[in-house]
Structure 1
């Protein structure tokens, strides 16, 4: 076994990649990040033509807390001699393919990443964590778990998954060979909308495209300024201090702040529907079915039939689908390699690790042996935690916790723009009194 690391990262997605990029600016800590894949590849199954980010490119791996880092998106543009062309393109939103190439560029150049190394099992001997690979072991004093979310498949669809019924994470590879005339997409978020827009562009005239959403309508992402205050360190710190029932209620209310459809995507879909209805004689038939909850699915030979409840009028409806795409989202699941530690973790009612403010999981081991969980804090840190928006800040928080010093300056303004708590209001009032005095 090689010498112990200060931190071993399990999984190399954007979040652990951000942590690796931030730690690259710190001399001292011995860290390695491991992934079973042979190379970095971000959501290849969802790289449909024209898809865009829903967040600013400035919310990259590092810029929010380390703007001079060589691993910023701007540094990537400069390194590839496309800075001015990127500016001149004046993108309304950055192409997701561009951001994926940026992430891959960082992954190709960071020296602490190890691809093709699958962590089979993680144990704890009372002093250090032990990571077991196929033919070797590695010990580490701390862990960072960033394996990403897993596709969520509704129970009614699980028995029929295959070439005709598949999750949206496989869309790029599967849609080109979609079978049959009727293609149905279930899911009213951004992924479902992107797939529908793609189908409206490529489906033949005799195709029938059906879009089903449980939401009351095809609803836009709330990307307005005060809603975006939910995606700030100020808000996340205050959210974490709330009692858990209040946090869960807040997350439910804020769904469209992080899980709606981009305005540009909705406009593009509507304009294409206008063309099909009024300007073209060869467009596919389109059925738009919001406010429907799929109750069951039956498969007879090559035919799949969905049974739905209409939330608008209460009726029961059926639709047929030759190909069914499940844009039903993702969920957190502890990786199998952590099974030996699962009973030592404190889990919430959703099966998620309970996290401290520094994103380390509560467990029964020594306080100085931490398991940092990335993308597991929706109910502990808020709706921004599973998204790209605060990954640079979160990585800086973890880096400071790991080193035990304030390498990154994370101090927030004493007076937040929005007074979320009674303490905020009290501080604001006290400052106002001091100014008048």
Structure 2
């Protein structure tokens, strides 16, 4: 069997972007493998009316190749809706439309293998050998691992998972009614806000009451102002990667609300909805409680439902809540995929379990340097908070394409930020600035 230059594990938006940018590159043999039968992006969270938190121009390819046939604008043109889209002047694209765009691209990008899950990966001294679910094997010089995050379930909820308690990632796929039932939503991010609004609006029937619990001090907004968005640029990423590991980890945690808050438009919609509910809806309105700064630490069964115990971080009191249904909007956590079990001992991991990544997103490992394991959506502590977002997906893919090809296929040197991130180094030496070849006067 001919050895691939690159084998991709998982086909979500990140490896789809990499495949799209590799498609026109001559001399690079690549194939991407996915156990699911077709592309499907977050189907469990496609609530009606929800919008993207990222510009549609930050698609699979446009930031590094605006002529790519796999960009969002090409999708609009092919669908015959370009002018209607521009005239509608959307501040943000509907999530369902962007998901359709990604599905459209996945149907056109070559070298994608759906229904071909990877059971295991071994290194045989000459390259990586992938065992596929259908019994076949594939060899490759390099790997690109983009298997996504795993839903985070708090330890106190694990034994209660089932038809009355589930994670928000499967919300739209769950068949349930809240009619005359008490509902608790745990988690104060975008998903929690969207689910709260939908349930309050009666989309699943009229609940007896809805309690929204978050350990955050308030319903914190996503910070997407101009200079905060500099965190989502190649220039900042390059400076971030040069910092000591312990400093990078602390900075990534401090930047949480740049990628994990509630969008301002959703907060405004929520505030207006609750105003109308409290003062204009009369007795027909669903009772609710919004409980910020509460840390749930215990969940138990009681006759007919669940009992939640929590600490109040505001006044340090102990509180309780009861619910018939519990929805965990508790986010996601990074975990190495099971198919890498044989390689995991050779990987260098930081104290939080993230792989240590070089600037080109290749993991530090005990194997030969000429065989690289590129890790996508694994670089929060090495490349910053933008790593899990779509903002730099195309740029990251271009960096990896250049690394695999051994030449500059795409221009990736960043334009300097208006902010000076690093000053003089010890000894008074100025830190060298990257060449600004993407900028022109």
Do the structures match in fold with TM over 0.5? yes
**Runs of 5+ unmatched residues, structure 2:** 434-441
Q: Partner of 1:433 in structure 2?
A: none
* Alignment partner of 1:172 is 2:179: no
* Alignment partner of 1:215 is 2:213: no
Give 4+ residue runs of structure 1 displaced > 4 Å after superposition: 203-206, 423-429
**Alpha-carbon distance in structure 1 between the residues aligned to 2:411 and 2:207:** 59
Q: Partner of 2:34 in structure 1?
A: 35
**Runs of 5+ unmatched residues, structure 1:** 430-437
**Alpha-carbon distance in structure 2 between the residues aligned to 1:290 and 1:179:** 25
**Alpha-carbon distance in structure 1 between the residues aligned to 2:292 and 2:166:** 21
Pairing 1:366-385 to 2, within 5 Å after superposition = 366-385=368-387
Alignment root-mean-square deviation, CA: 1.6
Greater mean alpha carbon deviation, residues 170-179 or residues 324-333: 170-179
How far 1:191 sits from its partner (Å)?
0.8
Aligned pairs, how many? 427
Pick one of 405, 409, 422 that aligns with 1:407: 409
How far 1:174 sits from its partner (Å)?
2.1
**Alpha-carbon distance in structure 2 between the residues aligned to 1:302 and 1:51:** 33
- 1:105-149 Cα deviation digits (max 9, x unpaired): 010111110000010110010011000013210000000001110
Pick one of 312, 333, 355 that aligns with 2:314: 312
- 1:281-300 Cα deviation digits (max 9, x unpaired): 21100101001000110112
How far 1:427 sits from its partner (Å)?
7.1
Q: Partner of 2:286 in structure 1?
A: 284
- TM-score normalised according to structure 2 size: 0.94
Q: Partner of 1:230 in structure 2?
A: 231
Q: Partner of 2:11 in structure 1?
A: 12
- 1:37-66 Cα deviation digits (max 9, x unpaired): 000000000001111110100000011111
Q: 1:117 to 1:179 in 2, by over 3 A?
A: farther
Q: 1:206 to 1:378 in 2, by over 3 A?
A: closer
- 1:158-182 Cα deviation digits (max 9, x unpaired): 0100011000001112264347511
Greater mean alpha carbon deviation, residues 318-327 or residues 202-211: 202-211
- 1:297-331 Cα deviation digits (max 9, x unpaired): 01124310110100111100000111100000001
Q: Partner of 2:436 in structure 1?
A: none
**Alpha-carbon distance in structure 2 between the residues aligned to 1:67 and 1:48:** 30
**Alpha-carbon distance in structure 2 between the residues aligned to 1:301 and 1:20:** 52
**Alpha-carbon distance in structure 1 between the residues aligned to 2:303 and 2:338:** 35
Pairing 1:180-259 to 2, within 5 Å after superposition = 181-202=181-202, 204-205=205-206, 207-259=208-260
**Alpha-carbon distance in structure 1 between the residues aligned to 2:360 and 2:294:** 40
* Alignment partner of 1:79 is 2:78: yes
- TM-score normalised according to structure 1 size: 0.95
**Contact 1:180–1:322 (8 Å) recurs in 2:** no
Q: Partner of 2:119 in structure 1?
A: 120
**Contact 2:299–2:306 (8 Å) recurs in 1:** yes
**Contact 1:164–1:179 (8 Å) recurs in 2:** no
Greater mean alpha carbon deviation, residues 110-119 or residues 84-93: 84-93
**Contact 1:149–1:333 (8 Å) recurs in 2:** yes
How far 1:207 sits from its partner (Å)?
2.5
How far 1:381 sits from its partner (Å)?
0.3
SS at match of 1:375: coil
